[in-house]
Structure 1
């Protein structure tokens, strides 16, 4: 019984370590370079990412003050802090700083959030302002 309790405690400790939030550098900022907020565009839409105060590194890279981009399209809220981001975001684990999206006509919101080597949002969270675009 004691062996099972110790095993469970080790598993819980490992799981909490795996999802610990990486500190973000003071003043770090992620933003969408283009399209601009309020832009009227045609699909496909090229979205260019900007970042200040930290570097971009591929997922799995353990380097201080770095992370990789995640894009939210038409999301109601940011992903939960302290756990890896899942299907609610588009992952750019290769360190990409631009993407092209096929979007249906209408209004769409776009927002960036940085994730650490394990796709967990930094602490404090480094997220862009949410912008709105209209696809013709």
Structure 2
């Protein structure tokens, strides 16, 4: 049986979760139980308003296709958590690999972290600012200085040109409280 680097990465991630009782191993969605301070019953945050993804843009740019089943998620944060600042954010990705911005490689992309973003365009390059944080060198985690209060976070995978894939590979939008 031939192993591609992506298959090896996915296999390594599955083995790392094996036997540890992690919700991802059991095919469950993260509920936040057992992952830090949680409010009693935290309702999921309203999802961001995102334009419908188009395979080809009006400019003629053909968006990079995401493999079926590709998934982006937060490894160490859950909706409703209370955390201190700086906030460590670890990005999880399955079904795809990570490549730096500017590198065109099938089945890869790079991370963008959306902080307090309620609306964005899935058919345009993601802007680079305090709300749209780019990790174009292929980083898979960061440390954020956030003011006390509630903040929303969402991960979006971008292609070599910072344009979301088609279909869009994004995490759920979560709300955290910084104490």
Matched, 1:83 2:124: yes
> Are 1:20 and 1:82, in contact at CA under 8 Å, matched by a contact in 2?
no
Matched, 1:133 2:176: yes
Q: Which residue of 2 aligns with 1:6?
A: none
Q: Which residue of 1 aligns with 2:6?
A: none
Q: With structure 1 as the length reference, what TM-score do the two structures score? A: 0.84
Q: CA-atom RMSD, angstroms?
A: 1.3
For 1:20 and 1:59, locate their aligned partners in 2 and report how far apart those are by CA, in whole Å. Answer: 17
More helix by share: 1
Greater relative CO, 1 or 2 (CA 8 Å, sep 6+): 1
Q: Which residue of 2 aligns with 1:10?
A: none
For 1:20 and 1:81, locate their aligned partners in 2 and report how far apart those are by CA, in whole Å. Answer: 13
User: Which aligned runs of 4 or more in structure 1 are off by greater than 6 angstroms?
Assistant: none
Which of residues 45, 50, 59 is equivalent to 2:101? Answer: 59
For 1:103 and 1:66, locate their aligned partners in 2 and report how far apart those are by CA, in whole Å. Answer: 29
SS in 2 for 1:110: strand
Determine which structure has more spread, i.e. the larger CA radius of gyration.
Answer: 1
Unaligned stretches of 5+ in structure 2? 1-57
Deviations 1:15-46 (A, max 9, x none): 924x4311101100000112222111110000
More strand by share: 1
Q: How does 1:1-136 map to 2 (within 5 A)?
A: 16-17=59-60, 19-77=61-119, 79-87=120-128, 88-136=131-179
Unaligned stretches of 5+ in structure 1? 1-14
For 2:75 and 2:144, locate their aligned partners in 1 and report how far apart those are by CA, in whole Å. Answer: 15
Count matched residues: 120
SS in 2 for 1:107: strand
